[in-house]
Structure 1
Amino acid sequence: MKGADLINVALPEELLEDVLRRVGGEKLDLDACALVCRRWRRLDRATRRSAKLPASGVHADEVVGLFVERFPALADVSIDERLSADAAVVSAPASRSRRHVISSIPSGSRSRMSRVPRFAGILFPLPSEQTPSADGIESFCLTDVGLTSLARGCKGLEKLSLVWCSAISSTGLVRVAENCKKLASLDIQACYIGDPGLVAIGEGCNLLNNLSLRFVEGATDEGLIGLIKSCGQSLLSLGIANCAWITDASLRAVGSHCPNLEILSLESELVKNEGVISIAKGCHFLKNLKLQCIGAGDEALEAIGSCCSLLEILSLNNFERFTDRSLSSIAKGCKNLTDLVLNDCLLLTDRSLEFVARSCKKIARLKINGCQNMETAALEHIGRWCPGLLELSLIYCPRVRDTAFLELGKGCTLLQSLYLVDCSRIGDDAMCHIAQGCKYLKEISIRRGYEVGDKALISIAENCKLLKELTLQFCERVSDTGLAAIAEGCSLQKLNLCGCQLITDNGLAAIARGCGDLVFLDISVLPMTGDMGLAEIGQGCPQIKDIALSHCPGVTDVGLGHLVRGCLQLQSCQLVYCKRVTSTGVATVVSSCSRLKKLLVEEAKVSERTRRRAGPILSFLCSGL
């Protein structure tokens, strides 16, 4: 019955708590639940599991302390200095609940309450006077004091991420180790954490299974070895990137004390063959390996191939010293390989992929980027021997020709995603081979495909009926003819036509008539399109959420008006360098799109009234650089 509170009457707190837990980690949904009534707010505070907190701004320590006091059940916390408590105050809308709270405060206190941070629908009143630090300078960053409050208030913490927290030291991490015995995942990025903090985590957090250290300048081999010796048995995932003082000595400890390690990501200029070989010999359960170690060579990968037979995912980046000999060893020993990424491995040739294709029949995802010695034969081998290939990405492969795709089309019939970037010799014939053989394609992305034109699109439209995402960025031979075929044959959800300069309003009209389910559209840098095309899109594609219109000289305020009247779901719009769009058009977009979250535009085209109305969603180009 209307007005009856049936849920609160019928459900005991245990069931209501379970309902709130099942809402999941969506912050907006949880915030909405917290605003239903006082009971729901209290239960939400008692059960909320995750939070992302700012680490910069006035009184950052107090904000974290108050947040932890409100939400003692937090288990997953991310603290990021790139987020500011002050910015959150400015951008937070004045909701009804906040106006009600402030209106109940005596007028003499309202001035200081205007600076109150607001997170998760909760107001956090701070001291009326700014609290100076010990040296008389106001603290604008989270310190060990705030991290200590978090550790003592959330003893059930399981996952902690510290990003760019410049004022945190080992002392704060020691407090985490003393209080958070359930900690299972620790991600530290760009923080000056020293060895004592890492050693304390190892001694206090025996359940730690995931550790990521990125740009942690204070850490050396001593700290990491101390951590690994204490909790290496539980460690399943380890990431080390650009830690200037961590060498092969740490990797030897990993090989000796982490027998259950499954995931390793390593980026370092100091690591040599010895460290990687130690990992290979000691971590036989390794399944996911990402390496960017300029100092390592063939011997390192030969050890991986010999010892890590369970390896499924391998990513090799910027290697200057290893050759086909390395990948031959991987192919012989790692028969379960499903994902292979080769970035800027300049000495690899077609022979490498022949080894992989013949031995690793489970390959499902392959990415080749900047391996300039690989030619057409490399992909022919993949087509002949890897029938389970689902995703193929080729980036800057100037020697690969159309004929390679004949074998791919014949052999890789299950292919679902194809990415081609800066492959100058791949044209219509290649795409026709792929389209005719790979009828399960869902995503095709071609960037700077100067030899790809309408013939390719017509073949795709005739054969790839499941296609949902199509990118044709700077494919200058594509015209309205090919686009009309796509619109007739494929029900697209995402379309990127940026830089396809032959496209006119007629092409956009065809898309509007045939692809009514579009949610993303990029029609930037289309000099021959204008208001008529936008009017057709507005009428035919009401589900669009993201649109890019930059560098379109034919677009005016009139076209924008037609667009936004139909696209009521619009959330993001890029509108820069459209010389005939004025402040009136920008105001029309802002006033018509109630769901808009981001509008990129030149600052000069935003009126003061629009700025006051939509300040938080406006983004401006850095034109002064």
Structure 2
Amino acid sequence: MRGADLINPALPDELLDDVIRRVGAGGGGGAKRDLDACALVCRRWRRLERASRRSARLSASGERADEVLRLVADRFPALADVSVDERLNAAAASGSAPRSRRPAHSASPFRRRRRLPLASNLAVHIASFPLDHPAGDDGSERSCLTDAGLTHLARGCRGLEKLSLIWCSAISSAGLVSVAENCKKLTSLDLQACYIGDPGLIAIGEGCKFLRNLNLRFVEGTTDEGLIGLVKNCGQSLVSLAIATCIWLSDASLHAVGSHCPNLENLSVESDRVRNEGLISIAKGCRQLKTLKLQCVDAGDEALDAIGSYCSLLESLSLNNFEKFTDRSLSSIAKGCKNLTDLVLNDCQLLTDSSLEFVARSCKKLARLKINGCQTMETAALEHIGRWCPSLLELSLIFCPRIQSSAFQEIGRGCSLLRSLYLVDCSRLNDSALCHIAEGCKNLKELSIRRGYEIGDKALISVAENCKLLRELTLQFCERVTDAGLSAIAENCSLNRLNLCGCQLITDSGLTAIARGCPDLVFLDISVLRIIGDIALAEIGEGCPKLKEIALSHCPEVTDVGVGHLVRGCLQLESCQMVYCRRISTAGVATIVSGCSRLKKLLVEEWKVSERTRRRAGPVLSFLCTGL
């Protein structure tokens, strides 16, 4: 019978609860929307959905944030994963829903009575309560999460397993004590940029014996005493620890970590105060380390020698801004860490080609290599990688001015599995380097070249003919590339992402080829292409219906007409940047706003936005500061 309820009478609560849990099991925005839809079916479904909701992402920067967190804890007691980020605005926290075209006054009374479930509109609720917090020290109104709100959450959601508090500046030790007393199952805690004192960290260590992941990046207010107290109590369970830019961190903390955290697998340390002694303690005590990221300017060869000697399970190593370690250190690591798959070297000025020879000969499993600003490395360094690392999948070279094109002959010959190549500010590279890569690395999926002033059509044609799997291409300020190279790419490679910023020889003809040959394009940057016009945008609108992001800033020949063609075809568009387009007017901006129901961000000059457009799309507008 029409209108009869054929589901609820037949399904007991247990079975319906299992159905709702399966709906949300996939995670992500789609699962969240499906759960919200379940909650709108009827009161029974809303009650069961609330009882099974496992995760929530909240903004902590709105008014009455504490009250909202209390409501969240009351309505969703089964929450196990909560993320609170003071940097989020209301739209970001609640998720971007398509903007309704229906005027607010036309909604029926029935529609007004049907309220969305709280989790789908959390940030909106945060911003909608009347402001009643006391003023801050500078006279401004306080509107952020405090210990009171965190206490409500801890008491209401005692099964909490993951808690992330990002830039929650009003949280103190008192809030963490409440978490420690009530959330005994806590396994992951992120306190990035919070001002936490020693008592809070010590309480977490005493109360959360199952803690596995801890992030203390940019945490102020504590001292070595806090971290030492925490690891003494729960160090046995700790698997991942991140500490960055904490002025209190010293070798004493690292010594405690080395002494009490034998099962630690992931460690990130960035500090100006850490020296060899602290890292040696880590190496000797944490022999299960698999991922290690270090930025310790006062540490040297002795510390890295110890890592090579004791951390034989190390798989990923990132060394940043080391001013004192030499080839000797990397040699020790290469000999001791034969399972190394990922290596990042940033601004390590004392390393030479010998360093990479040690790594290449010993670490045959190396899959990802990034060299950034190591200006003493020359062509031989890359040749060693090509000869000895057949498993290489990703290679990134940033500001390596001494590496010449001939090095890529060895890469092309020996690294046939290469999938991603990033080349930035490598001034000696020319077409022959890319031809070597294309001929030998036919599995290439991502190619990114920035400021490759000697790269031209010959290289692109070779890539197009040999690398049929290419999906992402960046050619920023490759000023010798023309329509011929771009047409070859369009004919042979179905791109998803394309960045042509600053390729000033590209015309409407080249972009027409891309639009007709790459229908799956979702990202396109055509900024600073000074001779393209409306024809290019019309072709993109017709040929690239899946496009979500486009940047066309500094395109002086594009007009409102071209924008209209783009909008009519690209209905999935979410982000658009179009500053310094002199022939796009207020009408063009209004066309983007009215025609793109999924728009999340529009970067444009403020003077081009009419009052009507501002009222209609205020949250998605970003303005370029032109008054400086």
TM-score relative to the length of structure 1: 0.93
Q: Distance in 1 between matches of 2:361 and 2:220?
A: 43
Helix, strand or coil for the counterpart of 2:60?
Answer: strand
The amino acid across from 1:15 in the alignment is L
Indicate if the aligned counterparts of 2:63 and 2:127 stay in contact, CA closer than 8 A: no
Deviation by residue 1:347-390 (Cα, 9 ceiling, x = unmatched): 00100000000000000000000000011100000000000000
Q: Is 1:465 paired with 2:465?
A: no
Counterpart of 1:19 in structure 2 is 19
CA RMSD of aligned residues (A): 2.7
Indicate yes or no: 2:28 matched with 1:36: no
**Amino-acid identity (%):** 75
Instruction: Name the stretch that deviates more: 442-451 or 510-519.
Output: 510-519
CA contact (8 A) 1:523 1:549 kept: yes
Post-superposition Cα deviations, 1:120-146, rounded to whole Å, max 9, x if no partner, equal: 147859998754559999642221111
C-alpha offsets along residues 494-522 of structure 1, whole Å, 9 cap, x if unaligned? 11111100000010111112111111111
Give yes or no for the alignment of 1:519 onto 2:522: yes
Q: How does 1:15-94 map to 2 (within 5 A)?
A: 15-22=15-22, 23=24, 24-26=26-28, 27-83=32-88
Distance in 1 between residues matched to 2:186 and 2:303, nearest whole Å: 33
Matches within 5 A, 1:264-303: 264-303=267-306
Of residues 528-537 and 455-464 in structure 1, the stretch that sits farther from structure 2 once superposed is 528-537
Find 2:258's aligned residue among 255, 260, 273: 255
Query: Deviations along 1:546-594, whole A, 9 cap, x unmatched?
Result: 1111110110011111111111221211111110011111111222222
Are 1:537 and 2:540 matched, yes or no?
Answer: yes
Q: How far is the alpha carbon of 1:30 from its aligned partner?
A: 2.7
Distance 1:145 1:98, change over 3 A: farther
1:31 deviates by: 2.4
Of the structure 1 ranges 421-430 and 8-17, higher mean CA displacement relative to structure 2 is found in 8-17
For the 8 Å contact 2:364–2:391, the answer to whether it is kept is yes
Q: Which residue of 2 aligns with 1:345?
A: 348
Contact 1:144–1:168, Cα closer than 8 Å, also in 2? yes
Measure, in 2, the Cα distance between the counterparts of 1:90 and 1:567. 21
Of 5-14 and 582-591, the range deviating more from structure 2: 5-14
Letter in 2 for 1:422: D
The 3-state SS of whatever aligns with 1:82 is: coil
Q: What is the rounded CA distance, in whole Å, between the counterparts of 2:625 and 2:34 in structure 1?
A: 34
Alpha-carbon distance in 1 for matches of 2:136, 2:421 = 58
Any conservation in 2 of the 1:88–1:118 contact (CA below 8 Å)? Answer: no
1:319 equivalent among 306, 322, 336:
322
The answer on 1:570 being equivalent to 2:573 is: yes
Change (3 A) 1:540 1:256: same
In the superposition, the TM-score normalised over structure 2's length comes to 0.93
Contact kept? 1:398, 1:423, Cα under 8 Å: yes
Q: 1:104 to 1:569 in 2, by over 3 A?
A: closer
1:420-439 equivalences under 5 Å are 420-439=423-442
SS of 2:470's equivalent in the other structure is coil
Cα distance in structure 2, aligned partners of 1:570 and 1:86: 17
Q: 1-side partners of 2:408 and 2:179: how far apart?
A: 54
Residue deviations 1:151-175, cap 9 Å, x none? Answer: 1011001111111211111111111
Q: Distance in 2 between matches of 1:582 and 1:416?
A: 42
Q: What's the CA shift for 1:214?
A: 1.4
Partner of 1:196: 199
Q: Determine the C-alpha separation between the residues in 1 that align with 2:602 and 2:575.
A: 6
Q: Residues 380-529 of structure 1: matches in 2 within 5 Å?
A: 380-529=383-532
| CA contact 1:89–1:118 (8 Å) conserved in 2 | no
Question: 1:221 maps to what in 2?
Answer: 224
For residues 232 and 99 of structure 1, do their structure 2 counterparts lie closer, same or farther at Cα, with a shift above 3 Å needed? farther
Question: Which amino acid in 1 is paired with 2:449?
Answer: I
Matches within 5 A, 1:545-560: 545-560=548-563
- 1:278 Cα offset (Å): 0.3
Equivalent position amino acid for 1:345 in 2: C
Deviation at 1:242, TM superposition (A): 1.2
Report the equivalent of 1:583.
Answer: 586
Query: 1:422-477: CA deviations, max 9, x gaps?
Result: 11111100000000000000000001111100000000010000001101011000
Structure 1 Cα separation of the partners of residues 367 and 433 of structure 2: 20
> Contact 1:58–1:86 (CA<8 Å) still a contact in 2?
no
Give secondary structure in 2 for the equivalent of 1:120: helix
Q: CA distance change for structure 1 residues 132 and 255 in 2, over 3 Å: closer, same or farther? A: closer
Deviation at 1:35? Answer: 2.6
Q: Does 1:243 align with 2:246?
A: yes
Post-superposition offset of 1:103? 5.3
1:162 matches 2:159: no
Q: CA 1:569–1:104 in structure 2 vs 1: closer, same or farther (change >3 Å)?
A: closer
Gaps of 5+ in 2: none
Query: Is the contact between residue 64 and residue 129 of structure 2 (CA under 8 Å) also seen in structure 1?
Result: no
